[in-house]
Structure 1
Amino acid sequence: MWAARLAAHCLLLAAATTPLHARAAEESESQPPAAQAPTWSGAVSAYLNLPRSSDAYVTGIAIANRGALHLEARSNYEGKDAYSFFAGYNLSAGEAVRLDVTPILGAVTGSTNSVVPGFEAAVTGRYADAYVEFEYVPNAKPSSYTYAWTELAFRPVDWFRIGFAGQRTRVYENGRDLQRGVFAQVKGKRISAAVYCFNPASHEQVIVISSAFSF
């Protein structure tokens, strides 16, 4: 009996003299970790447009994402000397085949002034992907207009994409609303570069050279 009492007293003494920080560490290890707050990610891209029938210019696009929040700014996209700003909501589904959709709403100012609704969407598989940017500019001059950029790509390896591209725009002064062509892109961990050739073998040919940095 006395041995059991002695053991109980020893256990109580050890518990009372255990450092508080040691007990706190043990308690924290036994509890599930708190959910981490979402972090910022995004990319900055520049597109050098080289239309055969008009002057060269640069289109800039900056994107920032934090969880479901999507922010974006563009220059020379809806038109030369036009500047647009958007906010959107990121949605995604699927694993083997992934679908990402981002409805956006923004405004354009400069050479064109309007409220602009639109969306961005991508379908990504193991060796192929498709992407589209779409926006409607109700007050574009001389009339309302739909702008779009699309890509359909094959990826034989993770760092290389090749495929078809299309662009509906009024910026090029070649009499075509829809530009069709091919492209190739190389991708690193943070930096990527691509070359697009729209309307190949035509007097209305447009070469676009892009570079992007992601974070």
Structure 2
Amino acid sequence: MPRESGDYLSGIFIAEKSQLHLEARANYEAKHSQSAFLGWSFSGGETVQFKATPIVGFVWGSTHGVIGGLEASVAYKKLDYYIEAEYLDPNGAEPGYLYAWSELGYRPIEWLRLGLVAQRTRIYGGDRDLQRGGFFQVTVRKVTAGFYWFNPGSHEQVAILSLGVSF
């Protein structure tokens, strides 16, 4: 829900089997675009857990091109860090672009996660190339609901409501 432009819905669908990672997105890299990815996950650690998934894919619709990226996380006790970065090499006159989303989270109790979030995106207008803010998530069984607030107090505020279901 960007303050200076129209609201829109974005979808991310992930399927993982062992180390194989499949992902499809709608309205993520650009409005009216779809993307698909294939990746392979590597994970480990006991005290400090980590997971890294290099991905490769393509986008079509309002933007076309090849995408390479990485989704990675590291966790230690109640702290965690997640980053998703991808480079879009579009077909056509547009230059390539690095998209990124990162979260630094803290779980004071198992079902609540709070933290800081940053993103670099071109999906909606505004002068800010890098946007920062806060978030909270609540998890009940296999459902996670979240609220992200970027650029609090500015005219370029963005609110994101998220809903995740795992099965």
- 1:178 equivalenced with 2:130 (yes/no): yes
**CA shift at 1:158, angstroms?**
1.0
CA distance in 1, matches of 2:83, 2:140: 22
**47, 65, 73: which is aligned to 1:96?**
47
1:128 aligned residue: 79
The amino acid across from 1:151 in the alignment is E
1:193 partner amino acid:
A
Question: Which residue number corresponds to residue 98 of structure 2?
Answer: 146
- Among 24, 39, 55, the residue aligned to 1:73: 24
Residues matched between the structures, number: 166
Name the aligned partner's letter for residue 102 of structure 2.
T
Shift in Å, 1:86:
0.2
Residue 187, structure 1, aligned to residue 139, structure 2: yes
The 2-side partners of 1:119 and 1:192 are apart by 23
Gaps of 5+ in 1: 1-49
Percent identical: 49
TM-score (norm 2): 0.97
Please report the TM-score for the alignment, with normalisation by the length of structure 1. Answer: 0.75
Q: Residue 153 of structure 2: which of 169, 178, 201 is its match?
A: 201
Match of 2:68 in 1: 117
In proportion to residue count, which structure has more helix?
1
Alignment match of 1:63 (pick from 6, 11, 14): 14
Q: How big is the shift at 1:210?
A: 0.5
Provide the secondary structure at the position in 2 that maps to 1:173: coil
CA displacement at 1:52 relative to structure 2 = 0.6
The one-letter amino acid paired with 1:138 is: D
For residues 170 and 86 of structure 1, what CA distance do their matches in structure 2 show?
20
CA distance in 1, matches of 2:141, 2:3: 33
Structure 1 stretches of 4+ with a deviation exceeding 4 A read: none
User: What amino acid does structure 2 have at the position aligned with 1:115?
Assistant: V
Q: Distance in 1 between the 2:162 and 2:53 partners? A: 22
Q: Distance in 1 between matches of 2:109 and 2:48?
A: 17
- CA separation in 2, counterparts of 1:82 and 1:125? 36
